[in-house]
Amino acid sequence: MPNKAVDKYLRQWAAAEAALAPTLAAAIKTPLQNALLIPAKDEAADLIEQLLNFNRGQQKLLLVLLINQAEHTEPSDCNRQLWQAAVDSGEPLAAAENCQLLAWPNGSVLLLVDRFNSGRQIAPQQGVGLARKIAADLIVALKNLGKLDSDWIYSSDADCRLPGDYFCLDNCAGEAVAAHFNFSHGPCLDSTLSPSQRQAIEQATELYEQGLHYYQAALSRAGSPYSFFSIGSCLAFRWQAYCQVRGFPSRAAGEDFYLLNKLAKQGPVYWVADKRIQIQSRLSQRAPFGTGPAVADILHKGYDLSSYPYYHPQVFIELRTFLQQWQNYRQRPPAALAPLLSQLGWDTFCQHCQQQQLRGKALEQAFHTWFDGFKTLKFIHWQRDQHWPNIPLQQGIDKFEC
């Protein structure tokens, strides 16, 4: 049965492609089990065979593959070849404007979305965020029409290898509204590079991953409720919660962080520790920041564990102190934090709590809604810039292990 809150989202906030769902849904005779979205930009055509291999272990999968490219550019050969390989991989079921629905083995369907041809391309400032949003909104619309059983939407990327038991959240995630899968970076498979070049990329990627784990562990030690990874290729979220926070933001990067930051205010984020996604090590400039640019920077500057600059552990100790003592600062914050808290709107928050006469759990919840993942990041950066400059990652790891 259609959901009123979801209907409102689809009317007011969804990407234009969501309106095509009724035409596509008419060709889906029985509900599908799980839904996965993958944005693809300049990926090799053998991605389709990889996805078909994954589908052989699944039943009744809805796979939304959105092929995208920045606007005002000539459609790339890679994108054209990938689209053709996808079209050739199944039997046509339906078509609507820039979407094509194909029948795949095991009762699955592939929904192709063209966002790479002229007139359909994505503005650079909207990038992968809009790509994920379009795909997710199509899934939401089909779910709302009764064409999908699971309440979960799974988000991944073309460079990922997914475990066979990937679609597990209906059975294990409890009341969580979002989930993040365990992950590791695998070998570099770029055959155009020499063995030494591939090895260098793998080592740089491993270093970047060590930084991610250090950061997440440090947030956890500080007691932050936002101590989760935010990697768009390893995410999943419940469809209704996704609509309540108005979906993916249309950003060139960081869309995963901002979506999770909003979802975490709706309910728990579940850590899928026993299901590991393998992400290919590779150089990529598909987003302005994130893994690809970070790995390129590591290679360019020749960093290793003893030189790679990363957050000082004391930054997280300061965060822990603030999270433990914030209620004592409501009348007068310490001088060392006053400039930062003023920038973050501390006085307005405290006045709101006083006016609403918040106490106990309600006050605690209000604080963590206000001091969210974004403000936490600002706190960390301010501590780094004002008091505790970066140190080599190895030193940070050693200090935490002491």
- Tell which residue, 99, 96, 97, 98, has the closest CA to residue 63: 99
Q: Domain boundary at 248, 268, 283, which?
A: 283
Evaluate whether residue 118 is within a structural domain: yes
pLDDT at 2: 54
- 50/298 Cα distance (integer angstroms): 29
- 150/220 Cα distance (integer angstroms): 30
Q: Report whether 237 contacts 332 (CB < 8 A).
A: no
- For 223, other C-beta atoms within 10 Å of its C-beta total 13
Residue 335 belongs to domain spanning:
310-401
Summarize pLDDT for 291-308 with one digit per residue, the tens. 888 999 999 999 999 999
- Tell which residue, 369, 349, 352, has the closest CA to residue 361: 369
CA 382, distance to chain mean position in Å, is 25
Q: Report whether 393 contacts 310 (CB < 8 A).
A: yes
- Residues 34 and 99 reside in one and the same domain: yes
Evaluate whether residue 201 is within a structural domain: no
The chain-wide mean pLDDT, for the chain, equals 95
- 85/296 Cα distance (integer angstroms): 30
The count of domains in the chain is: 2
Q: Report whether 114 contacts 120 (CB < 8 A).
A: yes
- Residues 251 and 358 reside in one and the same domain: no
- 303/88 Cα distance (integer angstroms): 44
- Residues 129 and 91 reside in one and the same domain: yes
Evaluate whether residue 174 is within a structural domain: yes
Q: What share of the chain is helix, strand, coil (3-state, %, to 5)?
A: 45, 20, 35
Q: Report whether 118 contacts 69 (CB < 8 A).
A: no
- Residues 389 and 254 reside in one and the same domain: no
- Residues 273 and 337 reside in one and the same domain: no
- Tell which residue, 246, 230, 206, has the closest CA to residue 290: 230
Summarize pLDDT for 276-285 with one digit per residue, the tens. 999 999 988 7
Cross-strand pairs, 96:
99
- Residues 345 and 276 reside in one and the same domain: no
pLDDT at 288 over 80: no
Query: Confidence band (pLDDT; 50, 70, 90) for 402?
Result: low
Burial of residue 366 (CB within 10 Å: 0-12, 13-18, 19+) is middle
Q: Domain boundary at 283, 302, 329, which?
A: 283
Summarize pLDDT for 9-55 with one digit per residue, the tens. 999 999 999 999 999 999 999 999 999 999 999 999 999 999 999 99
Q: Domain boundary at 242, 265, 283, which?
A: 283
Summarize pLDDT for 88-120 with one digit per residue, the tens. 999 999 999 999 999 999 999 999 999 999 999
Q: What is the mean pLDDT of residues 208-231?
A: 96
Query: Confidence band (pLDDT; 50, 70, 90) for 348?
Result: very high
Residue 101: HSE in the Cβ half-sphere, 13 Å Cα cutoff: 22
Side chain identity, residue 361: K
- 310/267 Cα distance (integer angstroms): 30
Structure tokens at 295: 């790995």
- Residues 12 and 137 reside in one and the same domain: yes
- 178/239 Cα distance (integer angstroms): 9
- Residues 231 and 380 reside in one and the same domain: no
- Residues 72 and 135 reside in one and the same domain: yes
- Residues 263 and 330 reside in one and the same domain: no
Evaluate whether residue 203 is within a structural domain: no
β 178-186/269-280 pair status: parallel
- Residues 78 and 158 reside in one and the same domain: yes
Evaluate whether residue 214 is within a structural domain: no
Cross-strand pairs, 70:
122
Evaluate whether residue 300 is within a structural domain: no
- Residues 264 and 391 reside in one and the same domain: no
Angle (nearest 5°) at CA 277 between 214 and 194: 85
pLDDT at 287: 74
- 300/261 Cα distance (integer angstroms): 32
pLDDT at 1: 47
CATH of the domain at 273: 3.90.550.10
Q: Report whether 260 contacts 145 (CB < 8 A).
A: no
Reduced to 3 states (helix: H, G, I; strand: E, B; else coil), residue 273 is strand
Confidence (pTM): 0.95
